[in-house]
Structure 1
Amino acid sequence: MAADRFLTLADVAEVLNISASQTYALVRSGELVAIKIGGRGQWRVEREQLEQYIARMYDQTRAFVSAHPFVEGQDEHA
């Protein structure tokens, strides 16, 4: 079970279905909390931190949708 506590950036990228470079950018910006371990400074994300990040993104998306209601015929990328 302890092996499941921490994820590599590649694991996080797979979970979020984003690129490894996008994952690294999330970590370096501080949006996604991670730690550097070992002599080579390998990044690891605690599973709980990833779940908290996902929950924050749901909250932010919910707030965005509430503030910007969908109007029929409106460009979906606006």
Structure 2
Amino acid sequence: MPDSQDGPRFLTLTDVAETLNTSSAQVYALVRRGELPAIKIGGRGQWRVERNRLEEYIAQQYRHTEQYVAEHPFVESEPE
């Protein structure tokens, strides 16, 4: 299957880290904790994240953040 307009179907952890602007170690931790679905391929066990799973993860994080903000409103301090 050829790459789509959006790029390859599967991303390396480094690709995911670049997309999320974080470290590969952080992405590895997300995968190992089961927060970000991934597959392990090949004899050396290289991890790959399907592009649509990454997009689902991002959308989920937006929902979690919206809920957090709703439950913890920001209150500005009044000037003294």
TM-score (norm 1): 0.90
Does 2:8 correspond to 1:23? no
Instruction: Please say if 1:48 is aligned against 2:65.
Output: no
Rg larger in structure = 2
Query: Runs of at least 4 residues of structure 1 off by over 4 A?
Result: none
1:25: how far off? 0.1
Match of 1:76 in 2: none
Provide the C-alpha distance between the structure 2 equivalents of 1:41 and 1:25, rounded to a whole number of angstroms. Answer: 15
C-alpha displacement of 1:68: 0.5
Query: How far has the Cα of 1:46 moved from its partner?
Result: 0.1
Alignment of 1:30-41 (within 5 A): 30-41=34-45
Of residues 62, 68, 73 in structure 1, which corresponds to 2:72?
A: 68
How many equivalent pairs are there? 73
Q: In angstroms, what is the RMSD of aligned CA positions?
A: 1.1
User: Which segments of 5 or more consecutive residues in structure 1 lack a partner in the other structure?
Assistant: 74-78
TM-score w.r.t. structure 2 length? 0.88
| C-alpha distance in structure 1 between counterparts of 2:74 and 2:17, whole Å | 29
Identify unmatched segments of 5+ residues in structure 2: none
TM-superposed CA distance for 1:52, in Å, is: 0.4
Aligned to 1:57: 61
